[in-house]
Each structure stands twice: as structure tokens, then as C-alpha cells.
Chain A
Amino acid sequence: MKEQKIGKEEFFLLVGPAQFAVTSGAVEVIAARIGKGEKLNVPLGKRVPIRALEDTVLQVECEPDKLTKMEGSSIPAEWDALAKRVVGERRDGRLYSIVVLGEVDTGKTFFSTYIANRLLHHLKRTAILDCDTGQSDIGPPGTFGMLVMKKPVVFLTEEPATYLYMLGAHSPGLHFLPALTGLAAMLEKARADADALIIDTTGWVQGDGGRAIKKSKLDIVNPDMVVLMQRGTELEHLVKHLPKERVVRLPVSKKASSTSQMERKSLRELVSVRYFKGAQKMEIPFSRVFTDRCYFLTGTPLTLDGALHAERLSAWEGSLAVTAKPLTPDVSKGWPKEIGRVTNFVAGDEKGLMVGLLDDKQNCLAIARLDEIDFAKKCFRLRTPFSGSPEQVRGIQFGSLKLAEDGREAGFIEPGSI
């Protein structure tokens, strides 16, 4: 721990892991004020600019050379001008929405946090919707998380999500419809709970899928402002239809660091492991819940020799048969032809599946890991940090990601397989 004096309007950069406490004076970190007696932890992999609002003394704990003086602010002045513009344009009783677009590693989350904090100086209710399910900062990976902020926040990962929506995948690629449904659902909540909403998006902005999903999102939100964080002109194709005054172009900071595939995976797992820390086991009978985004428990029960579970699905969908081992003609040869084509699911393949726990209005209460479907006792065995009563859970929403018991990534289940 060392003492660091910082003169008013001086700027420092602190690289995590590190922490500091304000002994006297006050500083600003990503537009969040940290005053006398307050502390900040900077996690590994994060770095923050510190601006002294007045002559300040800090007690700093960090690795050597990880606290460095900067010549000036690393935050462009136009960011503050943008916040002022939002405050000026916003009308009472109407949500002001901002969509932030950019490729991966362009600083979208940092910008979103800064603007949200700055807006909180003027607005009572500011929200951030994190739609980047592959690099979630609000809520666990595979989810949309929305934080309705009561106070400025430095690291979004440190705050529990106000609302969650399970996409069930790290990319909207095979989940276009849930991604758009989730966006619409969260937008509805933001209209009720916030004065301004900043929507942080995935870095998928090119190609068929990137163009299709981003255009659809812009159409659904119809944002008051679209912020392009671009290195050149790589995002211009997404905003050709928008009035010029609604599009703001910001250069990507040279300080925005690139992360490798494995670093991104490690960061995802850090968030996921933390989410599932202290998770409890929960058992939910089939009879008490509906299932969503799956065929399982949506048909009419069937009895088939050799199957642990079977049900007749709708019309040409045929039947779902769960067996202990992959289905062979020997097992199915006696089954009646009226059951149609058979989708076979092998019991145990569901182990580790990420599921959403829904309430009776289909709000996502929490994310869970499916330990097992007990087909004999007709119940789901789950592991979840949800602290409410199992009776609150009215729906089980199937995802496509698999998780280890501690929350680490463990592969996928093929969509449509159960």
C-alpha cells in the first residue's frame, strides 16, 4: 500500500489487479465519483483512468508500475458533449434509447458505462442493456442482462442484473428469434423503469447474419441515437437508412486492447463461475412447470417398450423417445407406425445444459445448470444461485450451452435435439 497524491485535474491510469482508497479529496473513474473513505477494486484484466476532481490523496495497492500518470484525460471531450445532448433531447415520460455498435474490442462497454454514469448526474433512472452474450458484463454469459442503475458503477460485472433474459448461446447466430424477442422484452421493461437506455451490442456487424440481426435490432428499438465505434467505415452499412442527426461516429480509442479467443473464454468463465458460486441444488417435478424452447413435455405421453420417456408430438413432428442408449432397430421394431418419425434423445446428454428458470409471466428468475432429468421420478434436478422458492419457478427454458458444475464451459447441445 502506497500513498499517492494527485492534484486537481490530474489523470492517472491504474491497471488491475489493484485497489485504492480515498484518504482525502475525490476522484472520478469512468464518470463515477469516488470520495473520501470510499474504495475501488480493479480486477485482473481491467484498467481504469483516474481523474482527480480536487487535490486528492489515495492509498493504492498495485503491482509495480501499474499506476502511471497520464498527460491528460483519456476520455474524449465529445463523450461528455454527447451526454449533454442526450439530456437536452430527452423528453419526460419517454425512454431515450441509444444503441452502441462496434466490432469486438472497440470499447463499447467502457463507453456505455461512462455515458450511463454521466447521464445519472442529470437523470434519475438510467439503464444499460448488455446484449453481448459472448462477453457478458451484466448477468452470466449466454444472457441479456439489464442493469437499472441507482448510482454510478465502475465495473458492470460487479453488479447483479436487474433483469435477465436467457438467450442460451454465446452468439445469436442460431438464435435470431429469441435474440430479437429478448430485445423487445427488455425494451418493454426499460420503458417502465428508465429514462434513458444504453444498449451495448455484440461485435457481429458483418456478413449475412451480422447485417440481418443488427438491422432488425435497430428496427425494433428505433433508437434516438446510434453510436458507431469504428476504426474506419466498417459500420456505415448498418445506418444507411437512418437520419444523419441520429448517427454519432466515434473513433476507437488506441487504448482499446484486443483479446484473444482464449482470453475471451477465460473472461466468460470468470463471470460464469462467479455467478454459480454458492449455487444450490433444486428439484422441480415435471408436473409443476411448462417447458420452453424444446419438444420435451410438449406432447402427449406415450408408452414405448425400451424407452425411458416417450411422447407424441404435433402432427408431422412424430414422436420423441428418450432411451438409455442410442436407439437401434431392435428396440424400435415393435413400436406402432402411428407414432411417426422418431426423434431419439439419449438420457444423460442433457447433463450440464444451461436453462432459464421462468416465473408465471415468463420473466427469467435466474439461470440454472441442469444436472439431470430424472425420467423415472419425473423431475428436473438443477443447480442454481436462485435464492427464491422452487414454487416460484413455473417454466424451464432450455438453452444450448453446457456448463460444468462450477460454471465453466462444457460444450453444446444441438438445437432441436430434445
Chain B
Amino acid sequence: MTFKETEFPATLKYLKAAMAADPDPLLIKEVLAQIIKLYEAVPLYPGIANMCAAQAVKAVEPKDVAVGQKIYFQKGNVSYLGTVAEKTADGLKLKAVKAAEEDVSVSLKDMSKVKAINEKILEELWPSLVFEKVK
């Protein structure tokens, strides 16, 4: 038997690839958080959770980030994770920042390795699996 009856190995492969691509613990922790959130949303479909997780964190150009979007980036040797509160032609302001004590303003040209975290990936890819809580 070479067929898998579980998606667990696929999850591990995805994590391994994510760690190889960018071993920053701040980003890996966010990747894990997204996987857990997706699995808890659709515990019957770990394959769909994996598929969504693989598309939840995507590399983007600094100019393409949008207000309200959760993003990760590096500025110099410091990495940041937070939600874009404001954006101008030159830079943006991040709120709810991890890896810094206060909100941070940054110039777009100083940002590198920018990743956008799509927290609504399940709604986008598999809307039929999004439910209201049972009353």
C-alpha cells in the first residue's frame, strides 16, 4: 500500500518547505497559526486545510500591500508582522505589530521579503465550508 489515508504527511512537507524557504520563527509561527485555524474550521477536510494553508502566505511586492492586510516583512535584520493601518505612495504604518513594541512606520523601499497573510483564504477557495455558529 503506497496510498496515504491521512493528510498529515502533506502538512509536514508543507511545513518543511516553509521552513526551508524562510526560517524566521516569526513567520513560521504565523504559518502554524494559519494551519491550525484552517484545520479547526474544517476538521473533516485536512486536505482542503492544507491546500488553503499553502496559499495563505504569499510573497508580494511592497507596493502591492493593501490597508487592512496582514503582512510580514523584514527591514534590515528585524522582521515584523502586523496589519497595515495606513499606506501612502512611499510607505505604510503597521498596527498590532509583533517583534516591535509600538506601531511602526516604514518606507516601502526599506521592506524586503514581504509576505501577505490571507486570513480569509477558506472563504475565497472553499466558501461552502464556512458556517455560522450553531445556535
Contact = CB atoms under 8 A, between A and B. Distances in A.
Interface in B92-135: 126-128, 131-135
Interface string A390-418: 00000000001110100001111111000
Interface in A162-193: 169-171, 173-174, 176
A230 B60 CA distance: 39
B134 A352 contact: yes
Instruction: Place the interface of chain A in its size category.
Output: 20 to 34
B43 A414 contact: yes
Residue in B1, B128, B131, B135 with the greatest tally of chain A CB atoms within 10 Å: B128
Interface string B31-50: 00000000010111111000
A81 B10 CA distance: 45
Contacts of B46: 173-174
Nearest to A175: B44
B5 interface: yes
B134 A412 contact: no
A402 B131 CA distance: 10
A90 interface: no
Residue in B5, B40, B46, B127 with the greatest tally of chain A CB atoms within 10 Å: B5
A171 B45 CA distance: 9
B119 to A, nearest CB: 18
Contacts of B43: 400, 412-415
Interface stretch (A61-69, A259-267, A294-302, A305-313): A259-267
Interface in A8-28: none
A43 interface: no
Contacts of B40: 414
A212 interface: yes
A245 interface: no
B13 interface: no
B128 A261 contact: yes
Instruction: Place the interface of chain B in its size category.
Output: 10 to 19
Contact of A415 (B42, B44, B47, B133): B44
A264 B47 contact: no
B3 A208 contact: yes
Given A351-B134, A402-B134, A209 B42 contact: no
B29 interface: no
Nearest to A417: B43
B92 to A, nearest CB: 34
Residue in A209, A262, A401, A415 with the greatest tally of chain B CB atoms within 10 Å: A209
A265 B5 contact: no
B132 to A, nearest CB: 7
A171 B3 contact: no
Residue in A173, A264, A402 with the greatest tally of chain B CB atoms within 10 Å: A173
Given A209-B3, A352-B134, A404-B134, A261 B45 contact: no
A211 interface: yes
A171 B132 contact: no
Given A208-B3, A404-B134, A262 B44 contact: no
User: Which 4 pairs across A and B sit closest by C-beta, in order of nearness?
Assistant: A265-B128, A352-B134, A414-B43, A411-B131
13 contacts: A173-B46, A176-B5, A209-B4, A209-B47, A261-B128, A264-B128, A351-B134, A400-B43, A402-B134, A410-B131, A411-B131, A413-B43, A414-B40
Interface of B: 1, 3-5, 40, 42-47, 126-128, 131-135
